[in-house]
Amino acid sequence: MEDQIVRITSRLVVPFIQVYGIYIILHGHLSPGGGFSGGAIFGASLVLIALSFNLEAGVKQISHDTSSILESGGALGFVITGLVAIALGGNYLANKAVGFPMGQAGELFSAGSIMLITVFLGFKVASTIVTLFYNIIEGEDKGGDAH
Amino acid sequence: MEDILFILIAAIFALRYLLRLQARGVFTALLVGLIGFFFSFTVAEMPPFGNPANPVFNEIPTRFMEMGTLETGAVNIVSSVIIDYRAFDTLGEATVLFVAIAAVVATLKSH
C-alpha cells in the first residue's frame, strides 16, 4: 500500500508533531499537558511514520533496543529522582523541601524535580506506545506465517 | 419413521435452544435495567456541579490553589499535584504502563 499523498503529507507533518510533543513535555509545569500527553503525541508521530511508509522505515527511526532503553530509562529516572531526594535528606520524591533548584515560577527551567520527572515520563510513554505498536504489528506478521 | 423422529428431536432441541436464548435475553435486559436504575438513582442523588457547598470543596483543593505555586514552583496546578503532591501515585501509574508493556512483549515475542 504505497500512497504518494499520504507519504508526502506525513513527511511534512511529522517534524511539526514531534516539536509539538517536545513542547508539551517541556512545558508540563507551565501549561496544560505533561509527560503522559506529550509522550503520547511524540509516540503517535513515530507510529505515523511506520503506518504511512512501512515498518522498516519506522524501526529505522527508533530501533527496538533504543526503545527498550528509553522505556526502562524513563522508569529508572523517575525512581532515581525520588532516591536523590532521600539522599539529600528528605522524603521520597520530595521537591522543594530537599532543595531542588526552584527558579522563577513561570520560567521554562523552574519547579525543580517536576520538570525532570515530566521529561522522564515523556520518554517512557512515547517508547511505550512505539513498542506496543511494533510488537502488535510484528506479532501479526509472524502469526500469519506460522498459522 | 426414523427420519420423522429425527426431525422431531432436532426441532425440539432447536426450540429449546431458542427459548433458552430468549429467556437469557430477557434476564440480561432485566439485569442491565436494574443496574442502570441504580446508577441513575446515584447520579440523581449527587450534589449539583460547581456548588461551593459540595463536600469536595474542603481544605485540600484550597491548599493546592493557594500554596501550589509557592510550594512546588509549578504554575500548572494539575502538574504540581500529580508530580509533586501525588508523585508516588504517578510512579504507580508509570509502573502500570511498564507492567503492561512487559506483558505485551512477553506474550507476543513468544510466537
Provide the ipTM: 0.77
Is the Cβ pair B87, A32 closer than 8 Å? no
Q: Tell me phi and psi for residue A5, to 5 degrees.
A: -65, -45
- Lowest-confidence region among B62-66, B68-72, B100-104: B68-72
Written as nine digits, the cell of A42 is 511524540
Determine whether A114 is exposed, middle or buried from the number of CB atoms within 10 Å of its CB (0-12, 13-18, 19+): buried
Pick from B72, B89, B93, B110 the residue to mutate for testing the A interface (most A CBs within 10 Å). Answer: B72
Is the Cβ pair A92, B88 closer than 8 Å? yes
pTM of the model: 0.73
B 59-98 residues with CB < 8 A to A: 69, 71-76, 78-80, 82-84, 87-88, 90-91, 94-95, 97-98
> What's the pLDDT score for residue B97?
87
Taking each continuous run of H as one helix and of E as one strand, the counts in chain A are 5, 0
> What's the pLDDT score for residue A144?
47
Length of chain B: 111
pLDDT 10s digits, A20-48: 999 999 888 888 888 889 999 999 998 99
Measured CA to CA, the distance from residue A32 to residue A34 in angstroms comes to 7
Do B47 and B54 touch, CB atoms closer than 8 A? Answer: yes
Question: What's the mean pLDDT when you consider all of chain A?
Answer: 83
Do B95 and A75 touch, CB atoms closer than 8 A? Answer: yes
Say whether residue A125 is in contact with chain B using an 8 A CB cutoff: yes
Q: CB neighbours of A104 closer than 8 A, spacing ≥ 6? A: A110
Measured CA to CA, the distance from residue B49 to residue A83 in angstroms comes to 40
Pick from B97, B98, B107 the residue to mutate for testing the A interface (most A CBs within 10 Å). Answer: B97
CB pairs under 8 A between A and B: 104
Do A26 and B74 touch, CB atoms closer than 8 A? Answer: no
Measured CA to CA, the distance from residue A65 to residue B71 in angstroms comes to 39
Q: How far is CA B37 from CA A112, A118, B15, B27, B107, in A?
A: 49, 42, 33, 15, 40
pLDDT 10s digits, B12-67: 877 777 777 777 777 787 888 888 888 888 888 888 777 878 888 888 888 888 88
Confidence of residue A146 (pLDDT cuts 50, 70, 90): very low
Q: Could you tell me what percentage of chain B is helix, strand and coil, using 3-state DSSP and rounding each to the nearest 5?
A: 80, 0, 20
